[in-house]
Amino acid sequence: MAEPLLSAQNLVIGYRRAAFGASQPIVPVVKGVSLSIARGEVVGIVGESGSGKTTLGRALLGLIAPMSGSIAFDGTPVSGLDEQRMRPLRRRMQMIFQDPMSSLNPRHRIRRILTAPLLLHKVARTMREADQQAAMTLERVGLPPGVLTRYPHEISGGQRQRVGIARAIMLKPDFVLADEIVSGLDVSTQAQVLRLIGALTREMGLAMAFISHDLSVIRAICDRVIVMRQGEIVEEGACDVVFDAPRAAYTRSLIDAIPLPVPDSTWLTRVDVAA
């Protein structure tokens, strides 16, 4: 098997409780997780609130240091890198957030939000080049050029999420972490955004960790799923296999808890949501 793009071994991750002082032991919230993600693979991470999904995702991007365990991105260890050595990896690992309103700087126009990372990472050498790339990416995510001169609060929630996606793919990353990116959107906007994500991952050969509460969303776009409970992986496997025949009782209970008795893997392509 080819070497995975991203691999994590025995990750233990915790937060220090500031209120109790540094002498308090750190309580782990991710407890010995190992996973790997291949190039171009879309892996869903599902589990109840507080199960450690976001914590795991942030550690994979090198945003939180694990207490123990190791993470490697394309053969390079992620933990313990200084900012200078981390920078080339940062370009290759991007994130799309749940709430673009809080992740897009409200005082900057979309043009600046999209062009600044291009100039910072020297993907574009001139403002003119950055502008051209921003315009092309905006078009790719289905937004009109007029959006460039708007502020984040001057566009709709669905459009903001497309700007968040544009910002993440601008730098041509190899890996994107998407954390609950459609939770705040209505169902038809969700379907549009998910279709866009599906097309982009295929076109760009992009690997993705897709965190969601919603099993029907995971099933519609992920190749593989990891089910987390209380900081541990309780089940993982190909989406079709896990959803058709879950082995863990916990996975079964997640499937039973959603409104559709069995998540329908075809809902994204159905006519009623394709509008």
Ligand X SMILES: Nc1ncnc2c1ncn2[C@@H]1O[C@H](COP(=O)(O)OP(=O)(O)OP(=O)(O)O)[C@@H](O)[C@H]1O
- Residue 52 or 62 having the CB closest to ligand X: 52
- Residue 54 or 216 having the CB closest to Mg ion: 54
Picked from Mg ion, ligand X, none, the partner binding residue 20 (CB below 5 to 8 A depending on kind) is: none
* 55 touching ligand X, by CB under 6 A: yes
Picked from ligand X, Mg ion, none, the partner binding residue 212 (CB below 5 to 8 A depending on kind) is: none
Beta strand segments in 26-174, E? 27-37, 42-46, 68-73, 76-77, 93-96
CA 43 to chain centre: 10
Among 161, 168, 251, 159, which residue's Cα sits nearest to residue 207? 168
* 49 touching ligand X, by CB under 6 A: yes
Among 4, 7, 41, 54, indicate the residue that binds ligand X (CB under 6 A): 54
Among 7, 4, 24, 38, which residue's Cα sits nearest to residue 224? 38
DSSP, residue by residue, 131-169: HHHHHHHHHHTT--GGGGGS-GGGS-HHHHHHHHHHHHH
CA distance 73 to 3: 10
- Residue 48 or 74 having the CB closest to ligand X: 48
- x/- contact string, 31-70, with Mg ion (CB under 5 A)? -----------------------x----------------
Phi-psi region of 180 (alpha: psi -120 to 50; beta: other; left: phi over 0): left
- Residue 75 or 259 having the CB closest to ligand X: 259
Of the candidate spans 53-61, 85-93, 149-157, 233-241, the one that interacts with ligand X by CB under 6 A turns out to be: 53-61
- Residue 130 or 217 having the CB closest to Mg ion: 217
Return all residues near 215 (Cβ < 8 A) that are at least 6 apart.
46, 243, 254, 255, 258, 263
> CA 128, 170, 87 angle in degrees (round to 5)?
100
Picked from Mg ion, ligand X, none, the partner binding residue 159 (CB below 5 to 8 A depending on kind) is: none
* 53 touching ligand X, by CB under 6 A: yes
- How many residues touch ligand X under the rule CB under 6 A: the total is 11
Identify residues 27-46 at the interface with ligand X (CB under 6 A). 29
Specify which residues 42 forms β-bridges with: 208
Binding residues vs ligand X (CB under 6 A) = 15, 29, 47, 49-55, 213
